């Protein structure tokens, strides 16, 4: 069964057509692990009358840790010279969590499993190992605590299974990443295997199960359920949960009834058995190999190359199994007092040596202070003069507002509202605009548009719609409070209204929707209609409150995360691979992406008290758009569309020097 699980995982991860749900091989592994661990514990308890926690965890350590540490070590050697700065920092930070094992919790906090950024993490796959090892910490204690009462034990196992399945279904709606990564929503898969082992443990139950004449047919049905799940399920479906049950229950059926018949003969074939033996090493090594190749190529590997990578992975796994996993997996004889001490000491030393480089980037000379590392500082952690919560009566959820107050404040008070594209202006607002005597308040919330009565529906950020809806009344109250001379709107306008097919790329699209609308039109046309109406309404309400309005066009999106091309260490820069990820969109493609929102913003600026400022003229010429500041040659972008500190200062300097922004602000007091 391990063979069918691991090969399906490789098939899906290497993007070979035909089995889009091959990643369910991990779910199959969970069922197998739950069965084997439960049977091992029960067998030892039956045989000896007791259970040794120390020997159990030592066996787990010997079984799992050597090959895992070897994979981490090889990944450090492989990726250290080639990863871009942001990717390398993320990779180094992931190592301690992968060894701990807490990789699933770390990844849950960072990113979704199928996100593009996740697909470039060399140790992404360690999350499933962490889930299993966390299960090993609690299940033996539960199992042994009620060992004497088999029926109670069965009831507890069933309750844990059903509660976990319910948690998975609930989290799929409220927090899909938690459902995918965390043990509470994955435990039901392990408990399916554990429940089967408990059923086998009942007096005569195994004999009755295996004696049924329908066993070969049940096993065949189980295998069919697994293969159909691999073929029919894909990454866009809600998993884990009810949809996982086909593969999980199919696995249980094959384990229970697959000893004989056609399925049994297939499972006992020598090539299948051999792949099963190396399946753990194969699972460990395949993903770093794929990520390395993917990182070096501009496009995903072709099918022939992917098949070749499967062969390479099998060869490397065979070496890992023969040289590392097999020799170190068996504990020293029970009578040898200190027999396991060298292994434990060696494991601790190896783990320490591997974790060392992951923190070295914070302390080694030349790795913490270079300008290209400083450029990774995100605007949302900028130094702030003061922060306060704006919570008007009878409004929505409070807003966090950052206030930049100059040493000698003048009469002009400005409010900047928007999403993260307002937030990334913070450095420029603080360093350039405030020193001119302008008091600036910044109210930005990630993914939330600065439009009254409007939220965003974004499949990659499922929490955004509710969060933006909750804070929008406070945003309206703040912007129309009459406390400001000028209100500036900045946003990633093109995400919900710009063309998606530009140049050779297809860019992401979200939708503007009216707050409270139960069945919004989730389409480009519907989103644009909401933008047109809400923009005019928002500008009108702000003007009626007595403030002037500045509409800032979106900064040019590059289409790719350009920090991928920035090496953390100078000696590694020459190894950064030339790829399409390192090239920004052409000026023509960027113009196409921004054309619609810029046109609508310009139309909304229909009077002398409303100013629209597009960004393309500061960043682009006829052919290309700049990605580095003139003169200082610092990175402008923090990713594909957000500004670094240098980029923020560059942009605000252009607004002040070339657009007469300050004159417009000061005329608001005239």
Q: What's the confidence (pLDDT) of residue 527?
A: 86
Average pLDDT over residues 408-434: 87
How wide is the angle at C-alpha 208 spanned by C-alphas 207 and 211, nearest 5°? Answer: 85
- CATH code: domain of residue 557: 3.40.50.1110
Q: Per-residue pLDDT for 126 more than 90? A: yes
Q: From CA 63, how far away is CA 242, in angstroms rounded? A: 31
Q: How confident is the model at residue 109 (pLDDT cuts 50, 70, 90)?
A: confident
* pLDDT top residue among 350 and 219: 219
Residue 481 lies in a domain: yes
Q: What's the confidence (pLDDT) of residue 579?
A: 47
Residue 527 lies in a domain: yes
Residue 14 lies in a domain: yes
Q: What's the confidence (pLDDT) of residue 361?
A: 52
Q: What's the confidence (pLDDT) of residue 384?
A: 46
Q: Per-residue pLDDT for 173 more than 60? A: yes
Q: Per-residue pLDDT for 156 more than 80? A: yes
Same domain, 185 and 61: yes
Q: What's the confidence (pLDDT) of residue 310?
A: 95
Of 359, 386, 405, the position where a domain reaches its end is: 359
Q: Per-residue pLDDT for 613 more than 70? A: yes
Same domain, 399 and 318: no
Average pLDDT over residues 72-89: 80
Q: Per-residue pLDDT for 235 more than 50? A: yes
Residue 367 lies in a domain: no
Phi, psi of 355, rounded to the nearest 5 degrees: -75, -30
Same domain, 446 and 589: yes
How wide is the angle at C-alpha 650 spanned by C-alphas 644 and 652, nearest 5°? Answer: 105
Q: Per-residue pLDDT for 203 more than 70? A: no
Q: Per-residue pLDDT for 378 more than 60? A: no
The encoded tokens of residue 361 equal: 């980037």
Selection from 647, 568, 564, 661 nearest residue 613 by Cα: 661
Instruction: State which residues form the domain around 117.
Output: 2-359
* pLDDT top residue among 539 and 301: 539
Q: Per-residue pLDDT for 573 more than 70? A: no
How far does the chain reach from its first CA to its final CA, in angstroms? 78
Q: Which residue has the tokens 């960004």?
A: 615
Average pLDDT over residues 258-266: 86
324-364 pLDDT tens trace: 888 887 665 555 555 666 666 777 777 776 776 665 554 33
Q: What's the confidence (pLDDT) of residue 302?
A: 85
Q: Per-residue pLDDT for 164 more than 50? A: yes
Share of the chain above pLDDT 70, in %: 82
Q: Which residue has the tokens 């197998």?
A: 32
Selection from 395, 411, 372, 423 nearest residue 634 by Cα: 372
The encoded tokens of residue 669 equal: 């007091």
Query: Average model confidence (pLDDT) for the chain?
Result: 82
Same domain, 620 and 499: yes
Q: How confident is the model at residue 557 (pLDDT cuts 50, 70, 90)?
A: confident
Q: Per-residue pLDDT for 461 more than 90? A: no
631-646 pLDDT tens trace: 777 888 888 888 888 8
- Which of the residue ranges 274-278, 356-360, 422-426 would you say has the lowest mean pLDDT? 356-360
Same domain, 613 and 495: yes
Same domain, 325 and 463: no
DSSP-derived letter for residue 122 is: T
Share of the chain above pLDDT 90, in %: 38
CB 306 within 8 A of CB 92: no
CB 408 within 8 A of CB 437: yes
DSSP-derived letter for residue 567 is: B
Query: Is the overall model pTM greater than 0.85, yes or no?
Result: no
Residue 498 lies in a domain: yes
- Which of the residue ranges 55-64, 177-186, 459-468, 549-558 would you say has the lowest mean pLDDT? 459-468
Interacting residues of 656 by C-beta distance below 8 A, sequence separation 6+: 432, 433, 436, 662
Domains contained in the chain, number: 2
Of 359, 384, 414, the position where a domain reaches its end is: 359
Same domain, 310 and 388: no
DSSP-derived letter for residue 362 is: T
* Number of helices and strands in the chain (H, E): 28, 11
Q: What's the confidence (pLDDT) of residue 453?
A: 92
497-530 pLDDT tens trace: 776 655 445 556 788 888 887 777 778 888 888 9
Q: Per-residue pLDDT for 625 more than 80? A: yes
Same domain, 198 and 307: yes
Q: What's the confidence (pLDDT) of residue 418?
A: 93
Residue 368 lies in a domain: no
Q: What's the confidence (pLDDT) of residue 441?
A: 93
Same domain, 386 and 499: yes
- Which of the residue ranges 273-287, 534-548, 551-565, 590-604 would you say has the lowest mean pLDDT? 551-565
Residue 423 lies in a domain: yes
Same domain, 6 and 60: yes
Same domain, 80 and 157: yes
- Which of the residue ranges 5-19, 337-351, 567-581 would you say has the lowest mean pLDDT? 567-581
Same domain, 231 and 294: yes
Q: What's the confidence (pLDDT) of residue 366?
A: 36
CB 497 within 8 A of CB 560: no
Of 302, 336, 359, the position where a domain reaches its end is: 359
Residue 364 lies in a domain: no
Average pLDDT over residues 538-549: 94
């Amino acid at each position: 069964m391990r063979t069918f699980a691991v090969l399906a995982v490789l098939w899906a991860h290497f993007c070979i057509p035909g089995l889009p749900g091959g990643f369910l091989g991990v779910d199959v592994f969970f069922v197998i692990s739950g069965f084997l661990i439960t049977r091992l514990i029960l067998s030892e308890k039956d045989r000896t009358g007791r259970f040794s926690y120390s020997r159990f965890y030592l066996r787990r350590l010997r079984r799992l840790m050597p090959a895992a540490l070897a994979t981490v070590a090889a990944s450090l050697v492989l990726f250290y010279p080639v990863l871009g700065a942001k990717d390398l920092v993320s990779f180094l930070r992931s190592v301690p969590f992968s060894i701990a094992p807490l990789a699933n919790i770390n990844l849950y906090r960072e990113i979704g499993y199928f996100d593009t950024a996740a697909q470039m993490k060399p140790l992404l796959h360690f999350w499933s190992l962490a889930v299993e090892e966390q299960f090993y910490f609690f299940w033996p204690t539960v199992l042994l605590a009620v060992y004497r009462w088999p029926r109670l034990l069965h009831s507890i196992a069933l309750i844990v299974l059903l509660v976990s399945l319910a948690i998975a279904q609930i989290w799929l709606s409220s927090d899909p990443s938690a459902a995918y990564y965390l043990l509470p929503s994955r435990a039901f898969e392990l408990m399916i295997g554990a429940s089967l082992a408990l059923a086998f443990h009942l007096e005569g139950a195994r004999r009755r199960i295996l004696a049924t004449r329908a066993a070969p047919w049940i096993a065949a049905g189980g295998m069919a359920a697994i293969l159909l799940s691999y073929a029919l399920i894909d990454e866009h479906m809600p998993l884990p949960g009810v949809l996982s049950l086909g593969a999980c229950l199919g696995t249980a059926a094959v384990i229970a009834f697959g000893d004989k018949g056609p399925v049994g003969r297939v499972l006992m074939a020598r090539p299948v058995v051999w792949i099963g033996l190396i399946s753990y090493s194969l699972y460990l090594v395949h993903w770093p190999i794929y990520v390395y190749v993917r990182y070096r190529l501009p496009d995903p590997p072709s099918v022939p190359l992917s098949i070749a990578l499967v062969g390479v992975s099998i060869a490397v796994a065979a070496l890992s199994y023969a040289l590392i996993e097999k020799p170190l997996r068996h504990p020293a004889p029970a009578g040898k007092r200190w027999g396991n001490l060298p292994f434990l000491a060696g494991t601790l030393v190896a783990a320490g040596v591997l974790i060392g480089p992951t923190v070295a980037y914070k302390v080694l000379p030349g790795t913490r202070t270079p300008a290209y590392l400083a450029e990774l500082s995100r605007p949302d952690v900028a130094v702030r003069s003061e922060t306060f919560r704006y919570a008007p009566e009878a409004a929505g959820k409070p807003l966090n507002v950052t206030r930049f107050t100059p040493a000698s404040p003048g009469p002009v008070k400005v409010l900047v509202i928007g999403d993260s594209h307002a937030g990334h202006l913070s450095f420029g607002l603080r360093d350039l605009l405030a020193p001119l005597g302008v008091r600036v308040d910044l109210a930005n919330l990630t993914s939330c548009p600065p439009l009254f009565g409007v939220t965003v529906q974004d499949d990659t950020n499922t929490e955004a719609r509710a969060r933006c809806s909750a804070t929008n009344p406070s945003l309206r109250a703040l912007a129309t409070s009459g406390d400001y001379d000028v209100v500036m709107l900045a946003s990633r306008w093109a995400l919900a209204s710009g063309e998606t097919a530009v140049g050779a790329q297809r860019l992401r699209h979200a939708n503007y929707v009216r707050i409270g609308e139960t069945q919004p039109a989730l389409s480009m046309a519907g989103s644009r209609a909401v933008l047109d109406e809400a923009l005019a309404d928002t500008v009108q309400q702000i003007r009626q409150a007595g403030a002037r309005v500045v509409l800032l066009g979106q900064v040019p999106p590059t289409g790719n995360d350009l920090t991928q091309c920035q090496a953390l260490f100078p000696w590694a820069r020459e190894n950064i691979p030339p790829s399409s990820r390192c090239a920004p969109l052409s000026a023509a493609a960027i113009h196409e992406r921004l054309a619609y929102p810029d046109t609508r913003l310009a139309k909304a600026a229909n009077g002398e008290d409303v100013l629209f400022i597009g960004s393309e003229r500061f960043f682009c010429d006829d052919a290309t758009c700049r990605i580095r500041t003139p003169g200082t040659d610092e990175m402008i972008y923090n990713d594909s569309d957000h500004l670094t500190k240098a980029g923020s200062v560059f942009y605000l300097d252009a607004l002040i020097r070339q657009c007469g922004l300050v004159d417009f602000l000061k005329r608001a007091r005239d």
